[in-house]
Structure 1
């Protein structure tokens, strides 16, 4: 009986050794792959977020060079590049736009690559007079293409992303305009994080990274061909290029592992990459596998410990059973008690195992939900407000066009029946409709074009009349009522008529957006006086402006509208226009709800008196 018990113990220990070998061998590889899979999912989420941040930051600025190239001052400058007055006006305009959009630099070049105007014309590193014909972005734009390029500035020695667009005058390309964007803010957000993130160019050179010591290092061999192409475009100016001590590891995990030697120490990283075709970049996310391997080893040790305890429990059970069998006749009660204890302990272990499995399942479900949420966080670009206004006005043009078509058909029938007087009346109606469409088109053209106007006396009544022509379609679509009270004698203010009209259109259009779909869709425009100032108040009864965002509502690109309903530039531009007039633009929240915008301007003499 005792020999039989010893044989059982020996068999149990042999089984335990087999299980331990399996855990340390194939089982260890399985555990490592599972942890690598979880790490890869986490790094993949970080990679998608990094690519989305880069793509969103760049796409916000991509259409701007083409818009600025269509400006009258820019077209006049490239048509007469030696005109000092045109250069001065263009320099001031580019500096103003650069400050408003918070970009790095904006500059204009002739077809030979000479810079003739720049936003930094008065700075110590002015681009004016510099020749950038060797840059690929200039060469592409000179051929009529929209170009993008990342480089280290040869003059400013600042890194940036360049958007270039041809300047067309008629059918000819007369110059190139370049818009440089600073992306250091994105790179700063990568520093000190859990992952190491860097971006490489087509030659494998790192030009963006959260690890400054890796900047301008090559992850591919710096062959003479790669160095020659980089030097030809002077992408990195005089920066020293160096190889990054990186080595691909061949392992059986099924994942891309790389080792990088930094400061004499070598670290292993799980590496994920994503190619951005629109920028010809490759975004890389590196995750240190030290913690992953530590977790895997900890799990292996825990499993071995578990099996060791289980083997010990089995040995104890077998030993006790052997003793019970030896004393079966004399200790039946003790044997029953022992079996009861074994069953109780087995049940406890089963309950613990079920609880652990349930907790593991809940954790995996939570992690899956988090990864799905992170994958859905892709922001769309914001559409320009001018497009919405143009769509509304085009609707206004469709109605008189349809009526003119009806009158024209009717006039033909009346002529066939010799009812010439009635046909003539139809033709007069068509002429009136054409005048109406010309008026709408003229208002839209005057509103869209920035005039070279000086400050002077402006009648609020005239500006308000032109404004109502433009916003009529938006008010109609929102079913909003515009109530205007300019007093018995409408005041005259010191301003520019077209720019003041632009401010009123922006604020009234925002008010129409705010009240659309509400019960109270009134918009009040009232005039009051405070000392020598004229106060023009625009009040709506919409949801109002929360106090938390009141101080930021005039910031560029800040908007409370949904995705695709505006760039967030309207109020920022309006605020700067009013400041140019020497006035002030504020917003408040009345106690009975809604929002009230107050435009404070200097009163001016009556226009008739000013003319005398």
Structure 2
């Protein structure tokens, strides 16, 4: 009966633990997803504002130029006398000069019938001269005395552009139309540099600008008959077929406007450009938000499961202890006394061992975290102080730059936190083809505070065509920060502290050397310099972990690190890394197991 009751309560406990684990995982997933989706929506609003501003600025830059050119005497004379060949040639050359000076796409003059009589591209085979564009809305808007505006695909050039049409007047009478075409490709290219998507739709819903070229000339919902007729009448997109995107909207999803295009889900922000009649859309992919929410749920699930396991172990131990006490009750008094004494001694030893294990784990964790996070946190503090001063002085743009740098450092700390288990990492991460200049620049930025404190002058020598290497960018940056910081420690106190960083190609390897003019490393200590907890610094100035961690990281990359004597008499550390080549591919290759994480 007792065994049956025990099995019953074990089953109840397991079921309760499973329910609690699932509930904790769901609650963590829900809270994390809501938070990250709110952050994603705010970021989308910022992207939308920047995209709309850049597009409006490009249009405003050229808006008044057509009217000014239309008032030029040469243009007015030619519009009044279009058969004058001398005036035509002179106007062609004038419009060509203006087009080159203003970096416009094309400038041309049309008569009252829509026939082009002069153009900046008169020298080209695709010249507009002789072409009739009376079907374009900007032409008849200008004939009505207004500034015409229209976005379309050129029927002659095949290039996208935004058109401004201005009336040409002689004695208050409209005698022609001056057209100014600008290229918006530069604005579109600037959107492609981010990890977001931006698209712009015309009044009929056709996507004509997009950071993703595969979405161009698509609609997010079917065109009606009137829209098709307007596009055909104005030949807005020439002979380009308008296709339908695979789009699904979920306006009620998670308090945000969600848009699904194909298999991807986005948080959508949109705004109207009133002057042009366009809709600007900013799309932020929600994949990272869902990944973060799932990771949070997994952590919560594992945490509750671990607590349940610990509880089960403690409960099992208690049950066994109870059985042992029952057996001892039947023994002789003397044996009972000895067993009790031995039990007390065992518990005390067990408690001491657990406490020692806890202190050792805490010591290792604190040492690693202190060593690896010290430099980025110091740099972040400097940027924060500078940002406060800049904001007090009204230099909000510069302050924003500092804040962006702080965010970058925080992202780096997040990445570094996955690499701090120094001597027992499981394999699974992937190496990549790493660009050294970017890693070196980031490492110098993090170590800049230590270099400045040491008053050290850092010189960097990198060849123009430095090949990529087999490495992990974040951990290689960690190694360089360690070595630069050690060099600053060594050079500090010299008359002219000097540190030199150099990278050269050596056969199938790339060598990165860091040398200083400090006291150097004693020859007897060189064999131990990479041992854990070995340090040549004074008490309180180093934990002896940095070089050991760096050594294991470089070994993980398939490389090597050694110490020698610099040309300045100090220490010289040389990192040897594999060069990316056909013999050393890295795409999709798991990292080797090492002690670097």
**CA RMSD of the aligned region, Å?**
4.0
CA apart distance, 1:227: 0.3
SS in 2 for 1:106: strand
Residue 237 of structure 2 is matched in structure 1 by 236
2:119 aligns to what?
A: 118
Q: Please state whether the residue corresponding to 1:87 is helix, strand or coil.
A: helix
Corresponding residue to 1:267 among 260, 264, 268: 264
Q: Which residue of 2 aligns with 1:212?
A: 213
Of the three residues 286, 291, 303, the one matched with 2:288 is: 291
1:340 Cα deviation (Å)?
Answer: 7.9
Shift, 1:209, TM fit: 2.1
The verdict on how the C-alpha distance between 1:375 and 1:285 changes in structure 2, with shifts beyond 3 A counting, is farther
User: What is the rounded CA distance, in whole Å, between the counterparts of 2:359 and 2:19 in structure 1?
Assistant: 26
User: How much has 1:192 moved relative to structure 2?
Assistant: 7.2
Q: What is the TM-score normalised by the length of structure 1?
A: 0.52
Counterpart of 1:313? 310
Per the alignment, residue 53 of structure 1 pairs with 54
**Paired position in structure 1 for 2:154:** 153
Separation in 1 of the partners of 2:146 and 2:85?
29
Aligned to 1:131, the other structure's residue is in SS state: coil
> How many Å separate the matches in 2 of 1:31 and 1:344?
36
Determine if contact 1:48/1:375 at 8 Å carries over to the other structure: no
- Kept in 2: contact 1:32–1:296 (CA 8 A): yes
- Measure how far apart 1:333 and its partner are: 5.7
Distance change in 2, residues 1:374/1:320 (3 Å): farther
Deviation per residue, 1:491-534 (Å, 9 max, x gap): xxxxxxxxxxxxxxxxxxxxxxxxxxxxxxxxxxxxxxxxxxxx
C-alpha deviation, 1:322, in angstroms: 4.9
Give 1:11-90 correspondences, 5 Å limit. 13-90=14-91
How many residues are aligned here?
Answer: 365
Is 1:304–2:301 an aligned residue pair?
yes
Q: Output one character per residue of 1:137-161: Cα deviation in whole Å (capped at 9) or x when no partner.
A: 1222222222321100112111101
Assess if the C-alpha contact under 8 Å between 1:324 and 1:335 holds in 2. no
Contact 1:5 1:322 (8 Å CA) reproduced: no
Report matched runs for 1:554-573 at 5 Å: none
1:114 Cα deviation after fit: 2.2
Query: Residues 206 and 215 of structure 1 are in contact (CA less than 8 Å); yes or no, is this contact kept in structure 2?
Result: yes
Residue 166 of structure 1 is matched in structure 2 by 167
* Contact 2:267/2:286 (<8 A) preserved: yes
Is the CA contact (8 Å cut-off) linking 1:12 and 1:314 kept in structure 2? no
Q: Quote how far apart the aligned CAs of 1:10 are.
A: 6.2
- Residues of 2 paired with 1:117 and 1:375: CA distance? 50
1:258 positional shift:
2.6
Shift of 1:373: 6.3
Q: How does 1:156-555 map to 2 (within 5 A)?
A: 156-191=157-192, 194-249=195-250, 252-261=253-262, 266-322=263-319, 330=340, 331-332=343-344
State whether residues 109 and 115 of structure 1, in contact with CA within 8 Å, keep that contact through their aligned partners in structure 2.
yes
- Closer/same/farther in 2, CA of residues 130 and 222 from structure 1, 3 Å limit: same
Query: C-alpha displacement at 1:302, in angstroms?
Result: 1.8
Which deviations, in whole Å up to 9, do the C-alpha atoms of 1:427-482 show, x marking residues without a partner?
Answer: xxxxxxxxxxxxxxxxxxxxxxxxxxxxxxxxxxxxxxxxxxxxxxxxxxxxxxxx
Q: Does 1:135 align with 2:136?
A: yes
Shift of residue 288 of structure 1?
A: 3.4
**1:136–1:149 CA contact under 8 A, matched in 2:** yes
Output the CA distance in 1 between the equivalents of 2:281 and 2:223.
Answer: 19
Q: What's the counterpart of residue 578 of structure 1?
A: none
Matched with 1:103 is 104
Could you give the per-residue CA deviations for residues 275-303 of structure 1, whole angstroms, max 9, x where no partner exists? Answer: 22222222223333333323322221122
Output one character per residue of 1:78-132: Cα deviation in whole Å (capped at 9) or x when no partner: 2333332222221111111001111110011223322222111222122222222
216 and 114 in structure 1: CA distance in 2 versus 1, 3 angstrom threshold: same
> For the structure 1 residues 271 and 69, does the alpha-carbon distance in structure 2 shift closer, same or farther, using more than 3 Å as the test?
same
Which consecutive unaligned segments of at least 5 residues does structure 2 have?
326-336, 388-395, 402-597
Paired residues of 2:25 and 2:296 also in contact (CA < 8 A): no
Matched-pair contact (CA < 8 Å) for 1:204–1:218: yes
- Which structure: larger Rg? 1
Are the aligned partners of 2:32 and 2:292 in contact in 1 as well (CA < 8 Å)?
Answer: no
8 Å CA contact retained: 2:22, 2:301: no
In 2, distance between residues paired with 1:178 and 1:210?
27
Alignment partner of 2:299: what SS? helix
Aligned partners of 1:243 and 1:374: how far apart in 2? 43
Question: Closer, same or farther in 2 for the Cα pair 1:169/1:337, shift >3 Å?
Answer: farther
TM-score, L = length of structure 2: 0.53
Moved over 6 A (4+): 1-11, 325-329, 336-353, 364-367, 372-377
Q: 8 Å contact 1:118–1:126 — kept in the other structure?
A: yes
> What's the offset of the Cα at 1:324?
5.6
Query: Do the aligned residues in 1 keep the contact of 2:259 with 2:266 (CA within 8 Å)?
Result: yes
Take 1:217 and 1:253, find their aligned partners in 2: how far apart are those partners? 27
Question: Are residues 374 and 140 of structure 1, via their aligned partners in 2, closer, same or farther at CA, if it must alter by over 3 Å?
Answer: farther
Q: Could you tell me how far apart the structure 1 residues matched to 2:116 and 2:202 are?
A: 26
Q: Using the TM superposition, give the Cα deviation of residue 27 of structure 1 relative to its aligned residue in structure 2, in angstroms.
A: 4.2
